[in-house]
Amino acid sequence: MSTQRAPIDVEADLTLTIDGQPIAIESYTDTVLVDFPSVRALVAVARTERGRLPSLERLLSEADLTVVVLVDGTAVGTLGARARPQSRRLPVEVDAGGTLRAAVAAPLRFFN
């Protein structure tokens, strides 16, 4: 059973460091931008946290929040209220064009 939560706005401007990688988080509305420095950093976090994605997606949707995932300023995915995931197994709307641009823009950061 799902509990409907009141819509909220988030105000944030911070940097989170995971395994020495700075991840910028910024928001002034119902959209939270999470900017990873490289595809590699995003993949590392996604691998360790993928089991939590369905719960996070559900919570974000219920609170009418959207997370836009970026790599070095390029949008690569969306999670939450305005996301349109391609499958239930991966509750993230993947931006294929953005993902390709991010991988091409910094190939050494991905493969090193």
pLDDT tens by residue, 78-87: 999 999 998 8
Cα 83 to Cα 95: distance, rounded to the nearest angstrom: 10
The answer to whether residues 64 and 29 touch, using CB atoms and an 8 Å cutoff, is no
Q: Give the start-to-end residue ranges of the domains of the chain.
A: 12-111
Q: Model confidence over 2-29: pLDDT tens digits?
A: 566 667 889 999 999 988 889 999 999 9
User: What is the band of 55 on the pLDDT scale with cuts at 50, 70, 90?
Assistant: very high
**DSSP strands (E only) in the chain:** 12-18, 21-27, 31-36, 66-71, 74-80, 93-94
The tokens describing 103, both together, are: 């991988």
Task: Write down the pTM of the prediction.
Answer: 0.86
